[in-house]
Amino acid sequence: MSTDITASVSTHILDTSVGRPAAGVAVRLAARSGRDADWQVLGGSATDADGRCKDLPALPEGATQVRLDFEVEAYLEQKQQKAGVFFPEVAVTFAVVPGEHYHVPLLLNPFGYSVYRGS
C-alpha cells in the first residue's frame, strides 16, 4: 500500500489523424478539494516532440478532482486549411485518490477526441 498523501498526473497527446504525437500543445493543470471547491490552477506545460508533458506540477495535498485543459486550437490550425477548428480546447476532469498515479492520454483528431486512464 502506498503511503503517498497526494496523487500524481501525467498525459500525452496522439494525433490519430496522422498517427503521430502532437507536439507543442499547451496543457494547463488545475485541482480542487471537492466538487464545491474552487479550481486552483497549478500551472502548465507544453507537449514535447513525443507528445508528452513531463513536467506538470505536483498536486496539492487534499486534491480530489483534477482538470487538464488542452489548448489544441493552434496545433489544429497548423493541420487544417479551410475547415477551421471544431474543438479549440479540450477539458478533461477526473477524480483522484491519494497515492495513485493517473496517466490520461488524449487521442485527438480534427473532429473528435477520446481520453482514457492509461498506465
Task: Write the DSSP symbol of residue 73.
Answer: H
At 32, list the grid cell. Answer: 480542487
CATH 3.30.360.10 assigned to 8-109: no
The pLDDT, as a whole number, for residue 1 is 44
Domain boundaries along the sequence of the chain: 8-109
Handedness of CA 89, 100, 40, 94 (dihedral sign): positive
The pLDDT, as a whole number, for residue 78 is 86
pTM of the model: 0.91
The pLDDT, as a whole number, for residue 2 is 47
- What is the pLDDT confidence band of residue 68, given thresholds at 50, 70 and 90? very high
Mean pLDDT over 24-29 rounds to 98
Query: Which CA distances in Å does 4 have to 31, 58, 60, 93, 101?
Result: 17, 12, 12, 22, 10
